[in-house]
Structure 1
């Protein structure tokens, strides 16, 4: 197996959730190198922000992970993914191939400091839902499976022992971490918006094309599964203070501002049918005004190769 690490301007590690944007490609046989694993750190993230990518030659599965504790409200997560794919060390793996599928998902990878109390009467939190992914080692499935094995062993001991030993749960607090939604800098003092190049249609694509490849489907007549606690807050606060960050951190174009020609009022429009179920909005919205819920019928992305 070939293993490479590409480090380009790596910033500090974070203590937050992250968004993972991913694609699966079919490439020419001569370009396919089964067993090749490439991990990248840094680019295109700024030094103050952490992120990294992965390339796995199964077909070719590749993706970019960006910490959701970034402070620049001008960052567009979908466009950052396009920039990452354009890097020569990434581009060479997929150029000349065919993109088969696109998707996105939030990762709860805040580290030891973010793991909640794991046990409760009659059950326990295990796996990825408890935040066991080990980002420095890029191990998620491994720790998820091990936590399930340990939970099973603990349950067995508890059911077979007359008196199970009581163990106190010790929690670590983190002095350096804050919720991701508190990190955004007001637009007036934020760095300028990155210049994102136009898609070339070969390695980089526009959002509608990518969204089509996700196979996502929500019936148009069903109630929106994205609930707005205070709909007016987006026009009062998010748009003037942060430049409408929900239109940029969402990798599916769910949120957009539309201006009514008659009244001249600009309002947030929610395209719930586009949702990839990444849940970044539930995490990153500065006012915590978006609540992601399960859509009717369990509809959503139609992933077959992700």
Structure 2
């Protein structure tokens, strides 16, 4: 099919993704330019229908990044965070009860006092407004679908074509995508970004780092009865319902007007292919130490997303000719703290400073190696280095012993500035960890009651997810025969279970079994791209604006 040539626009910097990292990069570039009396043209493209539509996090937010980026944000009447942490609890749960861990046992870095509880999506919306006030152009609903590379250098991106039917042919609403060309292109796509993945492979960015590790975080937003609401309470747990060899845990945060954010993380290196992270989350809410919070309340939001968990030893090279990685694209999440937005903002600022210096020197399309060389000596590096062994210890020794050893390691780092373990490796990649169905005891889950526990489809409804149905599939199975022979026959079809949105189904019929993909349900969590045992599913951006439309998430 012969397509018309794309129109193009020229900028100094193009940023892919309007999350905290991308918007912080844009804001800092404009701040640097204003301070130097210079002019820098910056554009941000965002695949969500609006800024914040695809942003989901717990979220207890460390404000250190915001404080540095926008020092006056706390006195701004439009500020996105208003509830400070007032209580910090950590529980270890068993099937029928549990125990609260004394706060004195927790390393200081795990203390949440001074942090804020709120919606990271609303933080992104706030940063978007601030960026536009400084002259940044932001285009939501325009996913970057292609990286433009010339002579081995990134020279920009192209947005996806609109109005392509499911057979790949233009329909009556066809519109060609745009080329956005730049001297430097910054990738701030979040976890497992489709273009970032290409850049890591093309430029061998992970050649000298451990492989990345992931978790899936599933979240609900509840409006609870006023007498059950404790503004600023932060509660984390681990243990039940997960078995000892499966990493993960929960959060429960009270904030704003009778809102409670409740969520569950399952590390994606789990072994049992019959495990369902969604259903483990539903079970968690039934625990006697948890369920009372929701009595008489109403569930008003749902979503899911992948979480980068590799940390210090898994961060890839951040720079390459013409471009850089920032935020969750780089993997700057502090896993034991369940926090990454502060590092996302700080990495955007750091990247912006180095890119602006290059622009001022008249450079273009070269590698900003100074950014790569500097990050480990900053607050980002200090934050990640001291917790670098928590995830490997948890994975190797299980929850009970692994978490205890991880706590010891954090205390040693806090008190002495070193670790007795050095820097541990992560072991297998997450997709390599599943055992064949024949080697496990299948897990069983109760039917949802529709009051406290729910099914996937009613949950997806609350995420306001929408995709144009007549478009090419954005979930691409590379080899359908391999999917049947391996994913179904050997592993029992785990995609039906690890997907939190009911996208994948193995449908039995008289003619055999077929793989059905309900792509319109996809909440863009990327778990399939990560956990498929053969790496046979490739997630790419759908047509502009498709996906969830989160509110207060």
Matched, 1:241 2:490: yes
Query: Segments of 4+ in structure 1 off by > 4 A?
Result: 156-162, 164-174
Cα gap change, 1:151 to 1:270, in 2 (>3 Å):
same
The aligned residue for residue 533 of structure 2 is 286
1:115 to 297, 300, 315: 315
Report the CA distance between 1:146 and its aligned residue.
1.7
Residues 222-261 of structure 1: pairs in structure 2 closer than 5 A: 222-261=471-510
Residues 62-73 of structure 1: pairs in structure 2 closer than 5 A: 62-73=262-273
2:427 to 174, 177, 180: 177
The aligned residue for residue 218 of structure 2 is 21
Residues 157-306 of structure 1: pairs in structure 2 closer than 5 A: 175-190=425-440, 192-261=441-510, 263=511, 265-306=512-553
| Root-mean-square deviation over aligned CA pairs | 2.7
- In the alignment of these two chains, the number of paired residues is 300
**After the TM superposition, which of the residue ranges 280-289 and 175-184 deviates more from structure 2?**
175-184
Report the CA distance between 1:137 and its aligned residue.
2.2
SS at match of 2:497: helix
- Alpha-carbon contact 1:16-1:177 (below 8 Å) kept: no
Report the CA distance between 1:168 and its aligned residue.
7.9
CA distance in structure 2 between the aligned counterparts of 1:156 and 1:124, rounded to whole angstroms:
13
**After the TM superposition, which of the residue ranges 54-63 and 171-180 deviates more from structure 2?**
171-180
CA distance in structure 2 between the aligned counterparts of 1:166 and 1:282, rounded to whole angstroms:
32
Q: Can you list the C-alpha shifts for 1:229-248, whole angstroms capped at 9, x where unaligned?
A: 00121211111111101111
The aligned residue for residue 84 of structure 1 is 284
CA distance in structure 2 between the aligned counterparts of 1:289 and 1:131, rounded to whole angstroms:
23
SS at match of 2:266: strand
Cα gap change, 1:4 to 1:220, in 2 (>3 Å):
same
Cα gap change, 1:187 to 1:30, in 2 (>3 Å):
same
- Alpha-carbon contact 2:317-2:372 (below 8 Å) kept: no
CA distance in structure 1 between the aligned counterparts of 2:518 and 2:323, rounded to whole angstroms:
37
CA distance in structure 1 between the aligned counterparts of 2:212 and 2:529, rounded to whole angstroms:
17
CA distance in structure 1 between the aligned counterparts of 2:519 and 2:468, rounded to whole angstroms:
9
CA distance in structure 2 between the aligned counterparts of 1:161 and 1:42, rounded to whole angstroms:
54
- Alpha-carbon contact 2:235-2:253 (below 8 Å) kept: yes
CA distance in structure 1 between the aligned counterparts of 2:278 and 2:477, rounded to whole angstroms:
23
**After the TM superposition, which of the residue ranges 198-207 and 152-161 deviates more from structure 2?**
152-161
TM-score by length of 2: 0.51
SS at match of 2:274: coil
Report the CA distance between 1:98 and its aligned residue.
0.2
1:151 to 348, 351, 366: 351
CA distance in structure 1 between the aligned counterparts of 2:369 and 2:318, rounded to whole angstroms:
16
For the pair shown, which has the larger CA radius of gyration, 1 or 2?
A: 2
Cα gap change, 1:16 to 1:178, in 2 (>3 Å):
same
- Alpha-carbon contact 2:212-2:315 (below 8 Å) kept: no
1:133 to 309, 329, 333: 333
The aligned residue for residue 5 of structure 1 is 90
Q: Can you list the C-alpha shifts for 1:210-252, whole angstroms capped at 9, x where unaligned?
A: 1211111112222211011001212111111111011110011
SS at match of 1:242: coil
Which 5+ residue runs of structure 2 have no aligned equivalent? Answer: 1-85, 99-210, 363-367, 377-387, 389-422
SS at match of 1:210: helix
**After the TM superposition, which of the residue ranges 27-36 and 148-157 deviates more from structure 2?**
148-157
- Alpha-carbon contact 1:96-1:202 (below 8 Å) kept: no
CA distance in structure 1 between the aligned counterparts of 2:371 and 2:229, rounded to whole angstroms:
50
CA distance in structure 2 between the aligned counterparts of 1:274 and 1:167, rounded to whole angstroms:
38
TM-score by length of 1: 0.90
Cα gap change, 1:61 to 1:160, in 2 (>3 Å):
same
The aligned residue for residue 252 of structure 2 is 55
